[in-house]
Amino acid sequence: MSGKQSVTEQDTSTGRAIEHDSFAIIDREAGPHAYDPAQWSIVRRMIHASADFELNGLTAFHPEAVPAGLAALRQGGRPLVADVGMILAGLSCARLARFGLTPYQFIADADVIAQAQAQGTTRAVQAMRKALGLGLLDGAIIGVGNAPTALLEVLRLIATEGVRPALVIGMPVGFVSAAESKGLLVEVSPVPWITVQGRKGGSTLVVAAIHALLALAAETGEPLS
């Protein structure tokens, strides 16, 4: 079943036609899937961003992931905390502004680097701890596409500090702890999540998932703030 996706970032009729044709090809070639229409619109955009049809099946959703993400967007004014700047560079500033999302990433901050060196951890861990200290994680949309240690730290904060993000989009790519961190994420029930099982992932997929959620929110209602 294909998912409706009329809202687009394309500014020209030619661009919109190419995107429409791309989605039609994906719907035709992807084969059967068990996703509901809203979930499929996210998976389809991730396939569009990567040309990787294995995402049909590898992408997993907490049962409340899409409703929780849309509710957070409609309420507006939420932080969007990313593990790396690459995610923020790929996002539409206009679409973020429409829903009052304020983007943050701290991995290159001098204090984060100093703390990582002093404590023998990673910059990604310290970046999430800085976000916690600034009060940015509760109610936030968190996107992790590069650093498994960032996702592991978010999971620790959920378990031990009672942190409650609105949604965790956890898709770190790689060979060391990437699959393992996502395996732990899918065991979390109190916080909704979207993930890609196994080694695949990356910032591009996180960006695609966020844009798909923003498009769904734009189709189904204005922000409440």
Residues labelled catalytic: 48
Q: What is the dihedral of CA 66, 68, 74, 75, to 10 degrees?
A: -170
Residue 77, Cβ neighbours under 10 Å: how many? 13
Residues in Cβ contact with 154 at an 8 Å cutoff, skipping those fewer than 6 apart: 128, 137, 142, 144, 163, 165, 168, 170
For the record, the structure tokens of 137 come out as 């994680």
Q: What are phi and psi of 102, to 5 degrees?
A: -110, 120
Amino acid, res. 41: S
CA distance 105 to 108: 8
β-strand partners of 169: 143, 194
Torsion region of 178: left, alpha or beta (phi above 0 gives left; psi -120 to 50 gives alpha): alpha
CA distance 196 to 120: 28
Q: Which residue has tokens 């990567």?
A: 50
CA distance 149 to 177: 8
